[in-house]
């Protein structure tokens, strides 16, 4: 056993520190922290764009905390439902539940704690619209997508992506915005159509794993060629939908970035569609997947920049 001395001269077991660090990492993996960070970011954009954001900072902070906690609960629920599937996937087989580092009982308690904390924070700091949209997103991903859509239809990500697209309206309402405004719902639609084009390139790379796990992802049921054509279609739809904020009198700077970056992304998907099906295509598909994340971050970042520096569309 190795030890080290604290400033007070007391021995501290390093193995216990490593164990605590491993546990924290496992908890973050269970809560799908990387995915949740994207949800919080899109929710933050919705909050910042709300007309009276500066007057509702407490509500906005509570809304983002609620998104993070509820998104984490949904991630745990997802892994609770399909640990055997995770064991067949190279990118998921080392997850805590898949290898047994965390028990199902502890994972269920963790999900319950995150969910209760989310509801409590939202009730305390926001409003019923924000709570309702957050619960809808958690139900959509954790239950409807995981239990019903993912194992039963190759179009699972099209419908399941709606749950993960709600954070902009959640952040907007948490910051005092109305529930039926054009701008936040245009962002919800943007994330909805972006999601299949974002996810299917990764599914192409993992098609053998999905086939082994008997998960009917589009590349498994309809083949790589059909999937690549759908990626192009949804990338084109994303480009078109990304221009909708201009109808809410958002920045022409944002519109220019949306056109340029959207055109570049569509070009990448067309190149992917035309490549021979081999290892180079798989590697390029992973690049398309990675660029799609940068694409969304860039769109939302320039939407905020343009919103506050002016140059609004007439």
Phi, psi of 313 (to 5 degrees): -70, 145
Residue 132 Cα distances to 114, 167, 190, 220, 306, angstroms: 16, 12, 21, 35, 30
CA–CA separation, 120 and 118 (whole Å):
5
Q: What is the pLDDT of residues 183-227, one digit of tens each?
A: 999 999 999 999 999 999 999 999 999 998 889 999 999 999 999
pTM: 0.89
Q: In this structure, how many other beta carbons lie within 10 angstroms of the beta carbon of residue 284?
A: 18
pLDDT at residue 201, as a whole number? 97
Residue 260 Cα distances to 31, 201, 257, 299, angstroms: 34, 21, 5, 10
Q: What is the pLDDT of residues 130-185, one digit of tens each?
A: 999 999 999 988 889 988 899 899 999 998 888 899 999 999 999 999 999 999 99
Sign of CA dihedral 196, 201, 202, 203: positive
């Amino acid at each position: 056993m190795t030890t080290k001395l604290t400033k007070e001269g007391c021995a501290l077991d390093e193995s216990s520190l490593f164990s605590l660090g491993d546990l924290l990492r496992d908890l973050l993996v269970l809560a799908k922290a990387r995915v949740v960070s994207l949800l919080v970011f899109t929710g933050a954009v919705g909050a910042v764009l709300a007309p009276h954001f500066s007057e509702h900072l407490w509500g906005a902070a509570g809304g983002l905390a609620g998104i993070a906690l509820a998104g984490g609960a949904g991630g745990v629920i997802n892994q609770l439902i399909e640990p055997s599937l995770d064991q067949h996937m190279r990118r998921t087989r080392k997850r805590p539940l898949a290898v047994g580092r965390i028990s199902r009982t502890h994972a269920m308690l963790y999900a319950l704690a995150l969910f209760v904390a989310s509801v409590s924070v939202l009730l305390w700091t926001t409003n019923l619209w924000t709570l309702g949209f957050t619960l809808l997103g958690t139900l959509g991903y954790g239950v409807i997508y995981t239990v019903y859509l993912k194992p039963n239809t190759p179009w699972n990500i099209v419908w399941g992506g709606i749950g993960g697209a709600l954070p902009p309206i959640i952040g907007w309402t948490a910051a005092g915005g109305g529930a039926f405004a054009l701008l936040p719902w245009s962002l919800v639609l943007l994330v909805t159509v972006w999601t299949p084009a974002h996810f299917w390139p990764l599914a192409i790379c993992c098609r053998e794993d999905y086939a082994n796990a008997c998960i009917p992802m589009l590349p498994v049921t309809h083949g790589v060629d059909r999937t690549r054509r759908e990626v192009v279609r949804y990338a084109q739809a994303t480009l078109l939908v990304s221009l909708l904020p201009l109808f809410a009198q958002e920045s022409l700077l944002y519109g220019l970035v949306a056109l340029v970056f959207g055109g570049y992304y569509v070009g990448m998907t067309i190149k992917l569609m035309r490549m021979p099906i081999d290892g180079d295509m798989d590697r390029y598909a992973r690049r398309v997947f990675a660029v799609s994340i940068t694409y969304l971050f860039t769109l939302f970042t320039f939407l905020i920049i343009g919103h506050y520096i002016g140059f609004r569309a007439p």
